[in-house]
Structure 1
Amino acid sequence: MTDLSAGRAELRRLALATMFPGFVGQGTPPAWLTRLAAEGLGGVVLFGRNVDPARGDAGVAELTAALRDAGPDLLVGIDEEGGDVTRLDVAGGSTLPGNAALGALDDPEATERVATEMGARLRACGVHLNFAPVADVDSNPRNPVIGVRSFGFDTDLVSRHVAAFVAGQQAQGVAATAKHFPGHGGTSEDSHLTVPSIDDPLEVLHQRDLPPFRAAVKADVKIVMTAHIRFPALDGDRPATLSRPVITGLLREELGYDGLVMTDGMDMHAISRTVGHPEGAVLALLAGVDALCVGGDTVGPETLEAMADAMVSAVESGRLPEQRLAEAAGRVAALRRWLAAARPGPVSGGAAADAARRAVSATGDLRLDGPPLVLQLEDEPSIAAGPIPWGVADLLAERVPGTVVVRLTERAPDVTGVLAEYPDRRVIVGVRGVRRRPWQVGVVTAARALRPDLIVVDHDVNPVADVLGEHYVRTHGAARVTAQAAADLLAGQLAR
C-alpha cells in the first residue's frame, strides 16, 4: 500500500468513526454493517423495528451481543425517552412516564429515580447511549413534535429535571443526550419535514431555551444533540446542526461544553432534502459536530459510503481540516472510554410506576355506576413517536368488564349515533393533542351537548379548558404506564 492510499484509508477510518446509522433486522446484523464495523464504524442506532415483541429485552440483548461480535468498539444508541417516544416498548406503549408527566409531578428526585431505572434497563440490554432527555422548553402550544416530550413550559422546571435525568441515567453507565440544541420547543413546524425557524431575539433564547442545556452541561452530560432549526439571531443562513456560530461559538465557547456533539437524524428532511447527507456531513463537522446520527430511513451502506467519501475528499481538498475530523473521531473514542470505566450503582425498582400514579391528576365526578362507553379519538402520531398503542380505552375494559370501546377518526367523527346506541352508559372520551386537531374538539363538544356528565381523559399537554370540562383526568402523555394509572383511577382501584 502506498503512503497516499494508507493516508486515505486512515481518513476513511476517521470518517466512519463519526457515523451512527440504523439498520433492518432483529437478529444477525446485515453483512454491510459487519463489514463497516470491522473498518471502524462509530456505532449504530436501534429503532422499534429492531425489537422483537415476542422476545422483548432478551432479544435486544442478544442483538447487541451480536453487534459487539461484529465490532467490539461499536457503540449502540437508542431513542428511549419514555412516555410517547419508546423503542423497547414499541409493541405496547412505554412502561416509563414521559417528561411531561415527570414535569407535572415536579419531583426531581423521582425523575432521577425513573432515569436510573431506565438506565439500568438499557445497560442490561447492551445499549451504551440514549437520546434523552429532551431539554427543550414547551414554549409553543402548537408545536407538532415536542410538546409532551418536554418537561414543561417553565424554564427553571425543565432545567432541574434535565439535570436530574442526566444524573440518574449516567449513574448506570449509559450516556445521556440533551436535545435539541439550542432548543426546539418554540417551533410550529417539524424538522422531520422542513427547516423550521425560531425568529426570537437572542435575549429570549438565553432566558428561555439555553438554561436547560446549561444545566445539562453542569451535570456532565456526555452528549448534546443538535436541532435542524434556523436561529436568525445566531446564524440566519443555516440550521443549528450546520452552524459554526451555534455549535462552536455558543455551545463550545460560551457554554463551555467539551463533550460529544451529535446531529439529530440526518435523514430528516431539514438535511436530507436540502444540502443532502454527504454535504451535510462535511458542514456539520465544520460547524463543530462530532457524531452523525444518520437516521431511521438509511438502512444500507450506499449513503454511508457517500458520506465517508465526502468527508475524505473534503480533507484532501483542504476544505475540512484533518485535525477537525480526528478531533471528532477522538470524542467518540473518549465516550467509549467513559462507558468502559463506568460502574453502575444500585437500583431499587418501582420508580416509574410510582411516578406515573402520582403524576396523573383528576377533577370532578368520576364515578362509574356500571360499565362505561369509551370513545377513543384516534390521531396521527408524530414522526418522532411513531404508531405506538396509546389510550385508556382497552385498559379500562380490562378492569371493568362490559366496557364498550368505540374508536373514532377524523374521517368518521360522527358521535351522535354511537351515543344513541348506548343511552344509559357514562361516557368517557380519550383525546390527544386537541390544540392541533380541531375535529377532536368538535367531537367532545357534540358529545357533551348530549351527555353533560361525560369524562374526558386527556393524554397530552396544553389542554383546552372547554374540552376538559368539569370531569376529567390528565395523564400528561400517552405512556402505557400513565394510562394504566388513569384506568385504575376510573375503575376505583386508585385513590386520587
Structure 2
Amino acid sequence: MTHISRRTFFRQALSFCLAAAFPPFSPSLLPATTVSHLSLEEMIGAMVIGGFRGFKVSKTLPVAGEIRREDLGGVVLYDYDVPTHTPHRNIASPAQVTSLCKGLQSLRPAPLTIAIDEEGGRISRLKQKYGFPPTVSAQALGKRNDPSYTYRRALGIAKTLKSVGITLNFAPVVDLNINPDNPVIGRLQRSFSADPDVVIHQALAFIRAHHDLGIKCTLKHFPGHGSSTTDSHLGFVDITDTWSPIELKPFQAIIQAKKADAVMTAHVFNKRLDTRYPATLSKRIVTGILRDRMGYDGVIISDDMQMGAIRKYYGFEQAITLAIQAGIDILIIANNTIYDPTAIPRALAIIRGLVDRGTISLSRIEASYRRIMKLKAGQVPQKGHVKTS
C-alpha cells in the first residue's frame, strides 16, 4: 500500500471539497454600473465600515463629518465599549437606537450601511436590559435542529433590526463547532453545530428570515474559525493543525444556494493554505479559494482590522494594503479593540494614497464599489458552482 504524506492527503482533501473537477471559475462582468461620475473618495468610502462612540448624532460625533462628505459608507454599532470597559457606546434603548440610525442616514443622500453583530444569545448587542426582545444562541438552535423554529427566532431578530433602522447583520456564524472549548466560538455558543449539514440548514433558515424583511446577512468567519484554540481579538491564531476542509462546506452550500449576501474573513493563519499571511490578508485564500475556486462574486468583508491578530503583527497601512490586494471589499475599523478617532480618516487617506501611487488600481476600487452597491440594492450574488458533497 502506497504511503501518502499528511500534506498530500490534506491537499487532496481540500481539492475534493472545492470540487476541483469543475473548470476554473471565470467571473462574468459586473453589471454596467456607471462609476465615472463618482469621486474616488465616494468609492473608497464605501469600502470602510467604522465604529464610533456616541448615542446620538451631533456636531461632535466623530464620524459625522466623514458620513456627511460621503467619505464613509457604513458604521457598526456596539453596546459595550471594550477599551473603557463601560456600556457608554451606541445602544441604550430601542427609541434611542432608532433615533441614532435615522440621524446617521440623514447626514447624506446615499443610503448608509448600518451594521451590527446580532447573532443571538451571548453575542447580542440589542440586549433585553436595553429593552429589546430576548434572543436564542446559535448553539441552542442547532441542538433543537428545527429550521422552522430557527426561522421564527431569526425573524424576531430581523424585525428588531428593521424596526430600528439597521441594514446589515454580521451573522450568521457558519463556523463548525469543532472545538467546543474554543474561547471565541464554542464557549460563547456561537456555532450551530459541528455537523456541517446542521449548520447549513440552520444558517439558511436564519438568512431567509432576514431576507424576508430586507435585512442583509454576513457569513462568518471564512475559511473557518471553529477549530481554533485561541482568540484572534487578542493575537495570533494558528489553525494549521486543527482546521480541515470540511469547514468550507457551509460557505460552499450557501454560496451555491445564492444566499450569501456577504462573507466575513477570519484573521486566522493556516500554513497549508498560505505559508505567509492570515486569511484576511491572503490573496491565496480570499481570491484563490473564495473567489476563483468557490465562485463567490459578492462582497467580502474583513473582520475588525484593529484586532490583535492583525494590529500586533502588521502596520496599519501594510494591513490595509494587503487586505485590498487579497480581495477584501470592505474593511471594518471598529474602534472597539482599541479606540483611535484618527483610524477611520487615516484608513481612507491610506487607500487614496495607494491608488494615487498605483499600488492599488482604480479598476480594483471600482470592482469593490460595484459589489457593494449590488449589496445595498438588495441583489444577492448569483454565482456559486462548487459541489457541497
* TM-score category, normalised to shorter length: 0.7 to 0.9
Distance 1:106 1:169 in 2: 18
Query: Could you tell me which residue of structure 1 aligns to residue 69 of structure 2?
Result: 39
Q: Using structure 2 for the length normalisation, give the TM-score.
A: 0.79
Query: Could you tell me which residue of structure 1 aligns to residue 20 of structure 2?
Result: none
Distance 1:275 1:172, change over 3 A: same
**1:81 maps to 2:119:** yes
Distance 1:23 1:51, change over 3 A: closer
Distance 1:101 1:94, change over 3 A: farther
Give the Å deviation of 1:234. 1.0
Query: Could you tell me which residue of structure 2 aligns to residue 168 of structure 1?
Result: 209
- Which of 319, 342, 345 is equivalent to 1:305? 345
- Which of 148, 153, 157 is equivalent to 1:118? 157
Contact 1:200 1:233 in 2 (8 A): no
Contact 2:54 2:61 in 1 (8 A): no
Query: Could you tell me which residue of structure 2 aligns to residue 213 of structure 1?
Result: 251
Give the Å deviation of 1:51. 4.6
Give the Å deviation of 1:141. 2.6
Contact 1:281 1:311 in 2 (8 A): yes
Query: Could you tell me which residue of structure 2 aligns to residue 128 of structure 1?
Result: 167
Contact 1:197 1:230 in 2 (8 A): yes
Distance 1:266 1:102 in 2: 30
Contact 2:158 2:215 in 1 (8 A): yes
Give the Å deviation of 1:100. 0.3
Distance 1:47 1:244, change over 3 A: same
**1:194 maps to 2:235:** yes
**1:178 maps to 2:219:** yes
**1:21 maps to 2:50:** yes
- Which of 101, 109, 112 is equivalent to 1:64? 101
Distance 1:319 1:52 in 2: 39
- Which of 117, 135, 138 is equivalent to 1:99? 138
Percent of matched pairs sharing the same residue: 35
Contact 1:32 1:300 in 2 (8 A): no
Q: Output aligned runs, 1:86-485, within 5 Å.
A: 86-89=124-127, 91=129, 95-147=134-186, 148-200=189-241, 205-206=244-245, 208-217=246-255, 218-297=257-336, 301-338=341-378
SS for the counterpart of 1:158 is helix
Give the Å deviation of 1:129. 0.1
Distance 1:140 1:159, change over 3 A: same
Give the Å deviation of 1:200. 4.0
Contact 1:137 1:155 in 2 (8 A): yes
Q: Which deviations, in whole Å up to 9, do the C-alpha atoms of 1:284-324 show, x marking residues without a partner?
A: 11111100111243655411222122212222222211111
Distance 1:272 1:234, change over 3 A: same
Contact 1:26 1:63 in 2 (8 A): yes
Distance 1:300 1:105 in 2: 42
Distance 1:90 1:36 in 2: 32
Structure number with the higher helix fraction is 1
Q: Which deviations, in whole Å up to 9, do the C-alpha atoms of 1:361-382 show, x marking residues without a partner?
A: xxxxxxxxxxxxxxxxxxxxxx
Distance 1:145 1:282 in 2: 27
Q: Which deviations, in whole Å up to 9, do the C-alpha atoms of 1:34-71 show, x marking residues without a partner?
A: 21012221100000044544xx2121111100001112
Amino acid in structure 1 at the alignment position of 2:343: T
Give the Å deviation of 1:11. 3.0
Distance 2:293 2:241 in 1: 19
Q: Which deviations, in whole Å up to 9, do the C-alpha atoms of 1:59-94 show, x marking residues without a partner?
A: 111110000111242210001111011111173697
Which stretch of structure 1 is more off in the superposition, 314-323 or 74-83? 314-323
Q: Which has the larger radius of gyration?
A: 1
Contact 1:51 1:88 in 2 (8 A): no
Q: How many residues align?
A: 328
Instruction: Give unpaired runs (5+ residues) of structure 2.
Output: 1-35, 80-87, 380-389
Distance 1:267 1:90, change over 3 A: farther
Contact 2:52 2:334 in 1 (8 A): no
Distance 1:88 1:155 in 2: 28
Distance 2:119 2:372 in 1: 22
Give the Å deviation of 1:277. 2.8
Distance 2:376 2:119 in 1: 22
Distance 1:106 1:52 in 2: 31
Instruction: Give unpaired runs (5+ residues) of structure 1.
Output: 1-6, 340-496
Contact 1:178 1:223 in 2 (8 A): yes
Distance 1:117 1:66, change over 3 A: same
Contact 2:51 2:334 in 1 (8 A): yes
SS for the counterpart of 1:44 is strand
Distance 2:91 2:304 in 1: 23
Give the Å deviation of 1:267. 1.5
Contact 1:16 1:39 in 2 (8 A): no
Distance 1:320 1:269 in 2: 25
Distance 1:28 1:300 in 2: 19
SS for the counterpart of 2:240 is coil
Give the Å deviation of 1:272. 1.7
Give the Å deviation of 1:31. 4.1
Which stretch of structure 1 is more off in the superposition, 154-163 or 294-303? 294-303
SS for the counterpart of 1:233 is coil
